[in-house]
C-alpha cells in the first residue's frame, strides 16, 4: 500500500535559519506529491505540489523537488520566519484528484525570534 | 470565492449519542472527502464522494457513515459515540485534483 514517512518533530529553529523537513514515500504507480501546512486551530492549506518526477513545487519561499530515484519530496526554505511556525504534512495521491490523500505524521515547526 | 465550510466548528457530545457534521464544498466542486485527525493516529481517511456516490472508504467501523447531496454538500454521521471518536474532522473538496480543506469540526466526546 501507499505510505509516507516524514521527519519526526518537533523542529525548533531560529529566525532566518535554513529549513529542511524530510519526506519519503512508498507508492504504486506514479504518485502526485503535496505539502500541506496547518496553523493552530485551522484546517490544512495546500503549500505546494508536484505531479511528476523532477518537478519542483514552490510557494511562499518553500520548495520541494519530486525525486523518483530516491522516492523523496523534502521541503526546504532558505530563511524561515516566525510566521512559518505550524505543522507541516507531506502527502501523496496515486490517482490525481480522484483518490484519497495518504499523509505523513506531520512535523511541528517552531521558529524562535 | 468562498472556501470549504464546515459546521459546527465545535461540538461536545456524550458517549452513546450520535452526531452529524456538515460540509459545504467550494462552488462547482463535485468531489468531497472526509478525514479524522487525532494526536495519536494522525490524519486518517474516512470516505470520498463524487456526484452523490461513495467512491472510496477508509478503514473505519460502520458507525461512521456519510452521504453527499445533489448540490455536492456532504454530511457525515457517527452513531453510538465513543470517547475515542474525539477528534478534528476535516472535510475537503476537489475540482481539478487539488484538495481544499475546511477548518474542521472539533468533536469532543465526554
B49-82 per-residue burial string, b: 16 or more CB within 10 A, e: under 16: bbeeeeebeeebeeebbbebeeebbbbbebeebe
Please indicate whether, in this complex, the C-beta atoms of B43 and A89 are within 8 angstroms of each other.
yes
Distances (CA, A) of B108 to A43, B39, B74: 17, 13, 21
Q: Taking CA atoms, what residue in A is nearest to B43? A: A103
- Kindly state the average pLDDT of the residues A94-101: 71
Query: What is the DSSP pairing of strand A107-112 with strand A11-14?
Result: parallel
Neighbours of B110 (CB within 10 A): 9
Q: Does A45 touch chain B (CB under 8 A)?
A: yes
Give tens-digit pLDDT for A47-82: 999 999 999 999 999 999 999 999 999 999 999 999
pLDDT at residue A28, as a whole number = 82
Does B57 contact chain A (CB < 8 Å)?
Answer: no
> Cβ(A38)–Cβ(A87) under 8 Å?
yes
At residue A98, the pLDDT reads: 57
**pLDDT value of position A90:** 97
Would you state the pLDDT for residue A18? 98
What's the first-to-final CA gap in chain A, in angstroms? Answer: 41
Residue in A8, A3, A2, A14 with CA at minimum distance from that of residue A110:
A14
What pLDDT, on a 0 to 100 scale, did the predictor assign at position A112?
A: 97
pLDDT along chain B (110 residues), means of 10: 91 98 95 94 94 92 97 97 97 86 97
CA gap B77, A7 in Å, rounded: 34
How many residues are there in chain A?
Answer: 113
The residue with greater pLDDT, A7 or B18, is B18
Q: Do B48 and A100 touch (CB under 8 A)?
A: yes
Cell of B106: 472539533
Q: What pLDDT was estimated at residue A96?
A: 58
CB contact under 8 A, A98 and B104: no
Residues 6+ apart with CB under 8 A from B11: B19, B21, B105, B106, B107, B108
What's the whole-number average pLDDT of chain A? Answer: 93
Amino acid at each position: 500500500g501507499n505510505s509516507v514517512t516524514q521527519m519526526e518533530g518537533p523542529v525548533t529553529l531560529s529566525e532566518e535559519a535554513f529549513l529542511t523537513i524530510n519526506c519519503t514515500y512508498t507508492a504504486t504507480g506514479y504518485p502526485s506529491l503535496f505539502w500541506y501546512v496547518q496553523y493552530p486551530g485551522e484546517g490544512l492549506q495546500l503549500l505546494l505540489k508536484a505531479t511528476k518526477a523532477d518537478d519542483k513545487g514552490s510557494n511562499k519561499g518553500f520548495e520541494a523537488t519530486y525525486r523518483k530515484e530516491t522516492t523523496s519530496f523534502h521541503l526546504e526554505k532558505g530563511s524561515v520566519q516566525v510566521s512559518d511556525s505550524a505543522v507541516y504534512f507531506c502527502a501523496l495521491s496515486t490517482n490525481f484528484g480522484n483518490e484519497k490523500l495518504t499523509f505523513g505524521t506531520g512535523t511541528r515547526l517552531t521558529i524562535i525570534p | 470565492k468562498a472556501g470549504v465550510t464546515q459546521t459546527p466548528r465545535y461540538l461536545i457530545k456524550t458517549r452513546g449519542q450520535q452526531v452529524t457534521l456538515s460540509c459545504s464544498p467550494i462552488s462547482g466542486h463535485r468531489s468531497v472527502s472526509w478525514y479524522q485527525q487525532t494526536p495519536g493516529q494522525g490524519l486518517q481517511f474516512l470516505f470520498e464522494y463524487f456526484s452523490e456516490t461513495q467512491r472510496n472508504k477508509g478503514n473505519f467501523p460502520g458507525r461512521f457513515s456519510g452521504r453527499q447531496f445533489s448540490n455536492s454538500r456532504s454530511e457525515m454521521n457517527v452513531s453510538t459515540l465513543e470517547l475515542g471518536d474525539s477528534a478534528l474532522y476535516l472535510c475537503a473538496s476537489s475540482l481539478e485534483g487539488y484538495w481544499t480543506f475546511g477548518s474542521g469540526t472539533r468533536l469532543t466526546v465526554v
